[in-house]
Structure 1
Amino acid sequence: MKKIFLVSFGLAFIISQLMAQVPQCINYQTVVRNSSGQLVKEQVVSLKFSVRMNSVSGQEVYSEKHAKTTNQFGIVNLHIGKGTVLSGNFETIDWGAGKMFLKTFLDLSGGDNFTEMGAAEMVSVPYALHAGSIYVNYSNDTLYIGDQAIYLPSGNGGTTGNTVTDYDGNVYGTVTIGTQTWLAENLKSIHYTDGTAISGVFDYDNNASLTGEYGKLYTWEAVMRRASSSSAVPSGVQGVCPTGYHVPSHTEWETLYNYVKNHYEVGGSLIGQKLKETGTAHWETNNGTNETGFTAVGSGEMFLNGGEPDFQHMKEAGDLWSTTQFASNPDQALEFRIYDSGSIMVQTNTVKNKDGGLAVRCIKD
Structure 2
Amino acid sequence: MKRVYVLSVAVILTATLLAQSPDRMSYQAVIRDASNKLVTNTVVAMQISILQDSTSGTSVYVETQTPTTNANGLVSIELGGGTVISGNFSTINWAKGPYFVKTETDPDGATGGTSYTITGISQLLSVPYALYAANAGTATGGGNFAHYIGEQFGGGVIFHLWKDNAGVEHGLIVALTDQSTSQVWSNVSSTEIGASGQSSWAGLSNSNAIVGQAGHTSSAAKLCLDLESNGQSDWYLPGILELKTLYNNYYTVARAFSQIPGATQLTSTYYWSSSEGDSFYSLCCDFGGGLVSLDRKDLPFYVRAVRAF
Q: Specify which structure has the bigger relative contact order, considering alpha-carbon pairs within 8 angstroms and separated by 6 or more residues.
A: 2
Using structure 2 for the length normalisation, give the TM-score: 0.49
Higher-Rg member (1/2): 1
